[in-house]
Amino acid sequence: MLLDYMEKEEEEDDADNILTISPSLHTLRSKLSQAFQYLSIKEDIEREETHIPIVTQYYTDFKYRHKESSGEATMKNIEETIKLLFPKGRFKFQIKLHDQMLRATLRQILGNNYEHEFERVCEERGWNGPKKNMFVIASRRSGKTTGMSSMIAALLLNVTNIEIVVYSVGERSAKEFVKLIEKYTRYSPNGSSRIKSSKAEELTIFGSVPGDERRVRSFPSGGNAKNVSCI
């Protein structure tokens, strides 16, 4: 009898203990759930804040931009190459010619970044928008041939997979023009080692990555035009 009473009393104590512990576990579970939800929201906010500069850095004003994107870097490399090819300076006509050739080839230079960068690039250089084509009339000995050939060499050295076609007065002029482009290409650092093939009317150079080849071809036009370039 006494044993049965003790066992019954122990069972009642266990039941009391279960009843007193269960609310505590429920409260703890609720608090842990709230804490987990808070940490998840905080993590999402921090992730969004971390990505804000990456999303907006290409849309801020150029005066406050710290990094140049690839298209603008290519533009600056072309300008530096031109300065290197003319250590004693250029004629005023050549400076203007190069400036307008850059403007006319802006889409090729900026590549995939064109839509995001062309307005800013034009603003920085004082251009009233890009050009799709250009027409130049120059007198003899104004530096037009050297100006055009040097810019074509700079484009070849810096623009990925670019192909340029030049139409000259005759076959002799076409061959001489390609030789002049090759001459300017060799002036640049490592320019000679980048030449893949040099033919009478065609020059091909290696790019910066496998599969990147740049080419210029010059053909006799049979007309009266002098060095009309199609880029």
Q: For position 64, what pLDDT does the model report?
A: 39
Residue 170 sits at φ, ψ, to 5 deg, of -145, 180
Q: In the chain, what are the domain boundaries?
A: 1-56, 69-230
Ordered DSSP codes for 67-119? S--HHHHHHHHHHHHHHHH-TT---HHHHHHHHHHHHHTHHHHHGGGHHHHHH
Walk along the chain (231 residues) and give the pLDDT tens digit of each residue: 444 444 455 555 554 444 444 566 667 777 777 766 666 665 655 555 554 444 444 444 444 343 445 889 999 999 999 999 999 999 999 999 999 999 999 999 999 889 989 999 999 999 998 888 888 888 888 888 999 999 999 999 999 999 999 988 888 889 999 999 999 999 988 899 999 999 888 999 999 888 899 999 998 876 554 444 455
* CA 161-147-127 angle, 5° bins: 75
Q: For position 227, what pLDDT does the model report?
A: 46
